[in-house]
Chain A
Amino acid sequence: MEGVDEGVAISVRGLTHRYPSPDGMLAVLSDIDLDVPDGGYVAVTGPSGAGKSTLLSVLGGLEPLQEGVATIGDIDLAGLGGDELAAYRQATVGFVFQHFGLLEALTAAENVELAGTLAGMRPAARRRRAAELLAAVGLAHRASHRPLQLSGGERQRVAIARALANRPRLLLADEPTGNLDDASAATVIDLLEQLRAERGCTLLVVTHNRAIAARAPLCVALDQGRRAA
């Protein structure tokens, strides 16, 4: 495996996020404080609507920071927007979604290559990187398969490989086992933990699953947009 990726410390103070609603602006996150050490592993739990995915979106740069302070390593998310957020996502963050988010028209290898493509990597380098990552998630033999030819667990492993393609310092997994059976879910979580250990990246996992949450050294519970006691 090429290189060892580093993690990143997360520092959040007074994070508040609102969405427009028919009744005015609705706060989905209110005054959140959070500290995660470099290379840390955090489980974010809470009922539906608690603001877990919004927290991940803001930390991952899918949405601009509205209020509060969020520092990811040496990057202050305040004031970042548009291309700056895209550059942040490309350079720092790896996403794993519940719905896998694989492009159906592309093979597993091409899906993994996609992050390298967007980053402007040379074709040979990104092919080599994709092959390494697929081997790392145990899917080297499925490189030429399209997502519809893969099982749910395999698709999520491809998605994890893709999330690692740009050597992210922060890996954000939003309900990564939500669409998987227990065995596949265990495999995926084992893989995430193993890769985190190998690469040293910081890992935030949003989950409803108590057993999975219990595996993280740090668990952040949210309820109605606030940290639960």
Chain B
Amino acid sequence: MSWRDVVALAARGVARRPGRAVLTVLAVALAAALFSALLTISRTAQVRVLDQLADGGPLAGIEVAAAEPDPTQVDRDDAEPGAPRELDDAAIAEIAGLSDVATVIPLVSTRVAVAVPGPAALDDGTTVTTERRYDRDDGPRGVLFETLVGADVRDADDLPISVLAGRLPLPGSYVEVAVTPTWLARFGLEGTDATRMLGLEIEVGAPRSFGETIRARWMRLEIVGVVAQEATSGALLAPIEAVRPARAWTLAGQPDDRLDVPSSPYSGAFVVARALDRVAAARNGIHDIGYSTSAPENLIASVQRYLRVVEIVLAGIGLIALAIATLGITNALLAAVRERRREIGVLKAIGARDRDVLRLFLVEAGVLGVIGGLLGTLLGLGLASVVGVVVNGYLRSQGLEGVRPELPLTIAVAGVVGAGLLALLAGGPPARRAARLPAREAVEA
């Protein structure tokens, strides 16, 4: 008997008691839904927590400071840097050449003056005024002094940057800038107000000292996004192509302590190790080159272990539910075997072998399990999405980035295949009982 015929016969067998089949499938579906929903929520929470720990960047991210390493702090996640040391292209190339390093993203920063209209009219029709109009007592009126950070925004996925509102500036753009919550705070705004800041035009000036006088070369930038960036300190983030000329302009002037411009070509770098378990080796390599690093590797590893335990517990709960549901399959099939003894006998009388009967009942169990698993997995994803909507509502009310519940393919497949396999396991005893029925005894039942 071909598999196609077995499946067709099994489907008929399932369909002959539709009520029982529906209830059995429903039980499996609910258990599979619980399994997939719990794991989806757990996995989403895991991603969110780790993302939070990595500040939106990769888990294997390492911040490199333009400073020497402090030998007493090398094993700490939040190591304090030692004495300043210039980080130049040669150092960047040396770091990039380390075998444990996947990518190196250099960061440039410079101090800039920012002229903001006061009060500033926002796109939503409201106006805001900076609470602190002066960055330093001796600064000119109406101008803020901020740090402008430049990064290659094409590598934004590898940077610890989370977009809270809007988007990142386009690569190579000289007219777009993103601001951080630090900037919002200047106007008495919070993370929940991030979208209000979008569209505001500001003038950013690169200062140059001419001795007594400081003059600035100005550029008009539009705020296109609000980001939480932890790559380096700074309230403004722009493409590196726009920051380099500004910094060069400032450095071309006379040395002036008032401008507070670091001499290092790069203010820092963000390094991504090839894997989380290679972060330590990468950090050691960078220390050996002579630069201070920090990375939340120990914290992430600890949290990952706890999250793994939570995931195992939740998966266990889901599996227990699935196991209970599959007992329903055993029960349904035992009833079917009792009811269909004569049918089994007739099948044997016309030539069915024991293993044909075994296959028939196992496939019936598998059909119930796979249908239940499929429905349940979809239902679980739906449940997780509903939970995600509720959670997102809360997170956004707190000015935090929302989550996007995703059902990993492995969990979806595990839900369906697992339900099918458990169903086969559950169907084993009744199927064996059916297969071993003596032909004559069965046919005379």
- Residue numbers of A with Cβ under 8 A of B are 53, 57, 60, 62-63, 82-83, 85-87, 89-91, 95, 97, 99, 101-106, 114-115, 117-120, 162-163, 165-166
Give chain B's interface secondary structure class: helix
- A–B Cβ pairs within 8 angstroms, 16 of them: A62-B439, A62-B443, A63-B440, A85-B439, A90-B350, A91-B351, A95-B350, A97-B443, A101-B342, A101-B349, A102-B346, A103-B12, A103-B343, A103-B346, A117-B1, A118-B351
Q: CB distance A86 to B5 under 8 Å?
A: no
- By a CB distance below 8 angstroms, the chain B residues around A115 are 350-351
Determine which of B12, B15, B348 lies in contact with A89 in the assembled complex, contact meaning CB atoms within 8 Å.
Answer: B348
How many residues in B have their beta carbons less than 8 Å from beta carbons of A? 27
A120 partner, pick from B2, B15, B348, B354, beta carbons under 8 A: B2
Q: Do A114 and B350 contact each other (CB < 8 Å), given the known contacts A57-B440, A62-B443?
A: yes
A90 to B342, CA, bound (A): 18
Taken together as a complex, chains A and B put the C-alpha atoms of A114 and B9 apart, in Å, by: 10
B1 touches A97 (CB 8 A): no
B346 and A97 contacting across the interface, CB-CB below 8 Å = yes
Residues of B within 8 A of A97 (CB): 346, 349, 443
Sorted nearest first, the 8 A-B pairs with minimum C-beta distance are: A90-B351, A101-B346, A62-B440, A86-B353, A105-B16, A105-B12, A62-B439, A118-B351
- Please report the C-alpha to C-alpha distance between residue A132 and residue B271 in the assembled complex, in whole angstroms: 78
Instruction: State whether A87 and B13 are in contact (beta carbons under 8 Å apart), knowing that A101-B342, A120-B1 are contacts in the complex.
Output: no
| Contact (Cβ within 8 A) B347 A118 | yes
- Residue B253 at the chain A interface, CB threshold 8 Å: no
Most buried by B among A101, A106, A165: A101
Q: Are A105 and B15 in contact (CB under 8 A)?
A: yes
Check B438–A63 contact: CB distance below 8 A. yes
* Contact bitstring B331-357, A, C-beta under 8 A = 1, else 0: 000000000001101111111111110
Closest to B442 in A: A62
Please pick, from A53, A85, A87, A118, the residue contacting B350 in the complex, using a CB distance under 8 A. A118
> Do the beta carbons of B343 and A89 come within 8 Å of each other?
no
User: What residues of B have a CB within 8 angstroms of the CB of A90 in the complex?
Assistant: 350-351
Chain A residues closer than 8 Å to B354, beta-carbon distance: 82-83, 86
Nearest chain B CB to A102's CB is how many angstroms away? 8
The closest CB in chain A to the CB of B345 belongs to A101
- Cβ of A101 and Cβ of B443 under 8 Å apart? yes
The distance in angstroms between the C-alpha atoms of A166 and B349, with both chains bound, is: 12
Nearest residue (CB) in B for A89 is B351
Find chain A residues with CB under 8 A from B12 CB. 103, 105-106
Would you call B351 and A99 a contact (CB within 8 A)? no
| B353–A83 touching, CB < 8 Å | yes
Shortest distance between the CB of A165 and any CB in chain B (Å): 8
Contact assessment for A118 and B2 in the assembled complex, using a CB-CB cutoff below 8 Å:
no
Known: A63-B440, A117-B5. A105 touches B13 (CB 8 A): yes
Q: Is the CB of A60 within 8 A of B2?
A: no
B9-27 residues at the A interface, CB under 8 angstroms:
9, 12-13, 15-16
